[in-house]
Amino acid sequence: MRNMAFDGCSRMKGLTLLAYLCFNYFFLNTLCAQSGDWYWIAFRSKPAGTYSLNQPQAFLSARSIARRVRQGIPLDSSDLPVYQPYIDSIQAAGGIVKHRSRWLNGVTVRIPNNDSLIRQRIWNFPFVRLATPNGRVAGPPGAGLPKDKFVEELTVSVMQPEITNRTTSVYGFSGGQIRLHKGDYLHDQNFRGQGMRIAVFDAGFVNMPNMPVFDSLYLRNRIVDTYDFVDMDTGVYEFDSHGTYVMGCLAANIPGQLMGTAPEAQYMLYRSENNVGGSENPIEEDNWVAAAERADSAGADVFNSSLIYTTFDQPSMNHPWSDMDGNTARMTIASDWAAAKGILVVNSAGNYGGGPWYKIGAAADGDSVLAVGAVDTLGQRAGFSSMGPTADGRIKPNVMSVGAGAASCQIPGPGVAWISGTSFSGPIMAGLATCLWQALPGRRNMEIFDLLQRCANRQANPDTVHGYGIPNMQLALSLAGYSVNTMNDQRQIRIFPQPASVASPCTLEWESDIPVGDYRITWYSMTGQVIKSQEHVRLYKERNLLPLENKPGAGLYGIGIEGLSYQARIPCLIVP
């Protein structure tokens, strides 16, 4: 995983500060006429301000905190919100802040009318490290016919008589794309995404609430968050139907006709791509970063993104191939940050395989991003599927899934459509990965990532066309040491009451199948510091209670249970 230090991002080697600022100022002035009035501004430092790492509940949800504790991930300055006085200064100078990124420590700012005096005031702030043109929200005037970001992707409707006759399997038309991965084995063991949360980033989710194929999502309140990061409102069910097709691969639930790979998961729907008028600008990467940080804060476990960025309306803003090194594009850097926070990030590899670019784009180049290429239901690679390696020589894509002739929902429905594009191989794999992680709740995100590569059919000889190949979910469970007899018997330790008070006792409840032996019970701060420990000898395999001795003061902590054959971490909130 990449080095996440803020000060490690500086490109100022060999330049004095004065020379750098002069270069940056004149560079921006030469581009301002063609770049619109949006800019990305990065800061030099991040003071804590009014927030504290000892009180993360002020800026992270309980689910988000629990994910970190469960995977042993300490809080650090990247979790803190952007320093508010910096934002106040930019707004007082005349800038309009649209997005703020705690991971990248910067903001997306609009300069009204690209006013040079406002720019000058903002660029001269001592806390501004970098200012980069970001393009327009809408496409440039006079650009000709609109271009569709997803124009290479195909959709073919299935006729209703054919649907009526296809009732021999619970999966219906989805059977091929699920069985290719032995995903039905996971579903048969009742791992269908229950309790897991998937964030989906796309261009719009037209008509979803009105479609019977998604009834179970809305009836059971499995859509837990929506937001449009283009227009900054909650209206995601407009503009584009691409996200609806993606959700058909993930969450469709009409037995005998169509079934998604994670039909019982919870979902967050985020519009970050502005495909209206065919525009393509770097600000869409910033939209994605803002959506990713919201998803992290709200407790997402898995990201699915069918968005790839390489070229933009203004050629001067294009990503050269050298940018595909896993450390340059803002969307890629943010994807690696998400992985560092314990999220499994799944991104489509791209549809450039048959064109002059032919390789992956951002954020599929991330070293912690599971990039998914496309095959058909027979396992044959689709010619449009983007290839690797990355600019620094790493294997991409990581794995392959069905993206040629995949089954999804007809829009507005009812019905089924055959669809093609890595936009759909990504969510098919993301849903299966979610169910796999549900079956292996003690694993970290990157352990699931590694397991998906190790269970794939080319794992012994991966290449830059197929990656590690087509994952096999049944094999993944076998490699993880699970069998049919053990999968439904998840070992757990619970803490109660929650929250606890400083004055009241606090107890761990051990389930009966947790192994006997010697254990160390350790209190950790949210920054990973050991607060105190106690020893415990478990003598009998039975459900029992263990009082926790000498609780620390009020705050949020992780409790580590560490034995020879069982380890766990659980969050504990103590209030005054």
**Number of C-alpha atoms within 13 angstroms, CB side, residue 224?**
19
pLDDT at 490 over 50: yes
For residue 136, the model assigns a pLDDT of: 57
Give the pLDDT confidence score for residue 482 in this predicted structure. 79
Give the residue among 199, 203, 230, 229 at the shortest CA–CA distance from 149. 203
The residue with greater pLDDT, 526 or 462, is 462
Q: What pLDDT shows up at residue 227?
A: 98
- Asked if 196 contacts 189 with a C-beta cutoff of 8 angstroms, the reply is no
Per-residue CA distances from 79 to 22, 56, 91, 528 (Å):
32, 8, 23, 14
Q: In the predicted model, what is the mean pLDDT of residues 186-202?
A: 96
Q: Looking at 244-253, 360-369, 396-405, 411-420, which range is the least confident one? A: 411-420
CA–CA separation, 193 and 265 (whole Å): 4
Give the whole-angstrom CA distance, residue 398 versus residue 402: 14
**How confident is the model over 247-298, as pLDDT tens digits?**
999 999 999 999 999 999 999 999 999 988 878 889 999 999 999 999 999 9
How confident is the model at residue 491, as a pLDDT?
63
Q: Give me the chain's average pLDDT, please.
A: 87
DSSP 218-270: HHTT-EEEEEETTTTBS--SSS-SHHHHHHHHHH-EETTTEE-SSTTSEEEEE
Q: Please give the average per-residue pLDDT across 224-238, as a whole number.
A: 96
Q: Where is average pLDDT lowest: 278-282, 297-301, 482-486?
A: 482-486
Q: How confident is the model at residue 35 (pLDDT cuts 50, 70, 90)?
A: very low
Helices (H), 134-226: 160-165, 175-179, 183-188, 215-219
pLDDT of res. 128: 97
pLDDT of residue 463: 97
Compute the average pLDDT of residues 433-458.
Answer: 96
The per-residue pLDDT for 149 is: 60
List of domains in the chain: 6-46+82-133 (3.30.70.80), 154-486 (3.40.50.200), 493-575 (2.60.40.1930)
Residue 479 pLDDT > 90: yes
Mean pLDDT of 508-525: 89
- pLDDT at position 25 is 40
Report the DSSP beta bridge partners of residue 266: 197
Q: What is the pLDDT of residues 102-150, one digit of tens each?
A: 999 999 999 999 999 999 999 999 999 999 998 754 444 434 333 456 6
* Tally of helices (H runs) and strands (E runs) in the chain: 15, 24
Over the stretch 425-436, which tens digit does the pLDDT of each residue have?
A: 999 999 999 999
Q: Specify the pLDDT at position 150.
A: 65
What's the confidence (pLDDT) of residue 484? 57
DSSP 299: T
> Average pLDDT of 556-568?
87
Q: Is residue 11 predicted with pLDDT exceeding 70?
A: no
Q: How confident is the model at residue 153 (pLDDT cuts 50, 70, 90)?
A: low
Virtual CA dihedral for 489, 495, 498, 502, nearest 10 degrees?
180
Share of the chain above pLDDT 70, in %: 86
Question: How far is the C-alpha of 220 from the C-alpha of 311, rounded, in Å?
Answer: 40
39-53, 148-162, 277-291, 448-462 — most confident range: 448-462
Weakest-pLDDT range from 18-22, 92-96, 372-376, 537-541? 18-22
pLDDT of residue 544: 86
Task: Quote the CA–CA distance of 547 and 220 in Å, as a whole number.
Answer: 37
Task: Mean pLDDT check: name the lowest of 144-153, 361-370, 439-448, 547-556.
Answer: 144-153
What local confidence, expressed as pLDDT, does residue 82 receive? 97
Looking at the predicted structure, is the pLDDT value of residue 390 above 80? yes
pTM, two decimals, is: 0.85
